[in-house]
Amino acid sequence: MIQDREWNSAEFELSRMRSGQWYDANFDPELLSRRQKADELCFAFNQCSPADQDGRQRLLRELIPELGENVTVLTPLYADYGSFTSIGSGSFLNHGCYLMDGGGIAIGRECYIGPFCGFYTATHAFDPEERAQGLEKAEKITLEERVWLGASVSVLPGVTIGTGAVIGAGSVVTRDIPPMTVAAGNPCRILRRVTEQDRVNLKTLNLKTGENDVK
């Protein structure tokens, strides 16, 4: 445990975590209690029958109070705290999403999150002795509106992904991605802009039958 600190309140380490300072992640009773509560809610949500939509929504809103309307989250879901994540209306999180949200995770409206994506706000001390004491720091992750992450994307601490951006499957996003761009790779790099040529011409589609009206 980290030694020789001034304890200003019962939530001393919590306030340090939320303000982006180094904090005690491994031994602080308040943070351990909050993570245990999140574990219990994730377990209950993941075990809840898909047919029990009311029960699933109740558990999800208890885990993530800042939840917009018409949000779909598929199981399993994992979160360190849950209460430090916000998800905008109309967003979709596929199976296996992990929210390491000590630093805060803000997911905008109408975002599509592919299966097995991870949001990692925390970083550890590089020095092994300090790391063993539980030293950790957390930086907020932000997804603006209508972002699409492919499967198995990892988003690292402090990253902002701009409105309308598309991130290719398997990418590791280490820095900010501008709006309306396509990016992929490890580390994730900008490939091109999203343009008018990427549009599906809905006027030529018969969405009721799935047939193309153009002969």
DSSP H or E segment with residue 54: helix 53-63
Catalytic residue among 124, 145, 181, 189: 124
**Structure letter (DSSP) for residue 118:** E
**Tokens coding 41:** 């809610």
Note if 95 is an active site residue: no
In DSSP terms, 143 is beta-bridged to: 107, 161
Least Cα distance to 45 among 8, 20, 71 occurs for: 71
User: 106 has which bridge partners?
Assistant: 86, 142
Instruction: Describe the crossing of helices 29-47 and 53-63 by its angle, rounded to 10 degrees.
Output: 170
8-state DSSP, 177 = B
Would you please indicate which residues are annotated as catalytic (active-site) residues? 124
